[in-house]
Amino acid sequence: MKTVIERGEDVSRRRPAAGTRRPHPAFDPRAVSEFTATRLSVYVRCLAVLEAEGVRHVSSQHFARRFDLNSAQIRKDLATFGEFGVRGVGYEVSELHKHLASILGLDRTRRVVIIGAGHLGQALADYGGFQSDGFAIAALFDNDAGKIGARTRTGIAVRDIAELAAIVAREGVAIGVITVPASAAASVARRCVAAGLKALLNFAPVRLNLPPGVRVRNVDLKIHLETLAFYIPSPATKGAPA
């Protein structure tokens, strides 16, 4: 098996002895764009699908076709994080899955707090993805005395926002999810920063001004609707039978 890497081909390497773990390459997460990080997250779930199906090896072309991705982009992204892939064999699904999950930190558990126990906050607290594979809800907060002490469907208690800083410190929480109304988002975000949170996932439709060192990701659910609508012909005459 050759180890020569040719242009335009998969990034290839001699297969390491079984059990050998290649060290993480030295990369600075801050130098990786949010788009790349998001794609990494997509690759991990695609690899999980393949692994569950018992697929052992996959080429970037097959991977791209299967999940409607771009094979050149896949090779470029993966090259950022290490040397994967075996000429003529492709990527080892299970190994690559484990490796990328580890880069994303999914092999550790990160505690997350949610601020705002309205419908969205409760939906997220009970959302499978927020309570599995690398994440755990440390607490759900609200400032409404009528909600404090109640539990969500899956049993997460709503706690008083006054306890935020204490719980963040005690549980080593770095990530907060903001699900309060737009009018309350700025003051809640300041409170999160003061409590020591380092990253905020913001569902409120408002831009947050935060000090450097605190990362924010704004989730705009309307973009999904707009992107879908783009492909649908203009509304037909009302009353036309479907």
Per CB under 8 A, contacts with a second copy among 74-133 are 103-106, 108-112, 118-120, 122-124, 126-130, 133
Report the nearest approach of a second copy to the CB of residue 17 (Å): 28
Q: Cα separation of 135 and 40, whole Å?
A: 17
Q: In the complex with a second copy, which residue's Cβ is closer, 2 or 222? A: 222
Using the rule CB under 8 A, is 160 a contact of a second copy?
no
Q: In the complex with a second copy, which residue's Cβ is closer, 13 or 61? A: 61
Q: Which residues contact 100 (CB under 8 A, 6 or more apart)?
A: 40, 43, 44, 47, 81
Q: Cα separation of 123 and 219, whole Å?
A: 15
End-to-end CA distance of the chain: 58
Q: In the complex with a second copy, which residue's Cβ is closer, 83 or 196? A: 196
Using the rule CB under 8 A, is 227 a contact of a second copy?
yes
The b/e string for 193-226 (b: 16+ C-beta within 10 A; e otherwise) is bebebebbbbbbeeebebeeebebeeeeeeeeee
Using the rule CB under 8 A, is 144 a contact of a second copy?
no
Q: In the complex with a second copy, which residue's Cβ is closer, 19 or 213? A: 213
Report the nearest approach of a second copy to the CB of residue 196 (Å): 3
Report the nearest approach of a second copy to the CB of residue 67 (Å): 10
Burial of 28 (C-beta count, 10 Å sphere; 0-12/13-18/19+): exposed
Using the rule CB under 8 A, is 242 a contact of a second copy?
yes
Q: Cα separation of 90 and 93, whole Å?
A: 9
- Give strand ranges (E) for 81-121: 91-92, 110-115
Using the rule CB under 8 A, is 149 a contact of a second copy?
no
Report the nearest approach of a second copy to the CB of residue 234 (Å): 6
Report the nearest approach of a second copy to the CB of residue 77 (Å): 13
Report the nearest approach of a second copy to the CB of residue 7 (Å): 23
Using the rule CB under 8 A, is 209 a contact of a second copy?
no
Q: Of the candidates 14, 16, 38, 187, which one interacts with a second copy according to CB under 8 A?
A: 38
Report the nearest approach of a second copy to the CB of residue 122 (Å): 5
Question: Phi and psi for 126 in degrees, rounded to 5?
Answer: -95, -5
Residue whose entry in the numeric block shows the structure tokens 């059990």? 19
Q: Cα separation of 35 and 60, whole Å?
A: 19
Q: In the complex with a second copy, which residue's Cβ is closer, 1 or 136? A: 136
Using the rule CB under 8 A, is 230 a contact of a second copy?
yes
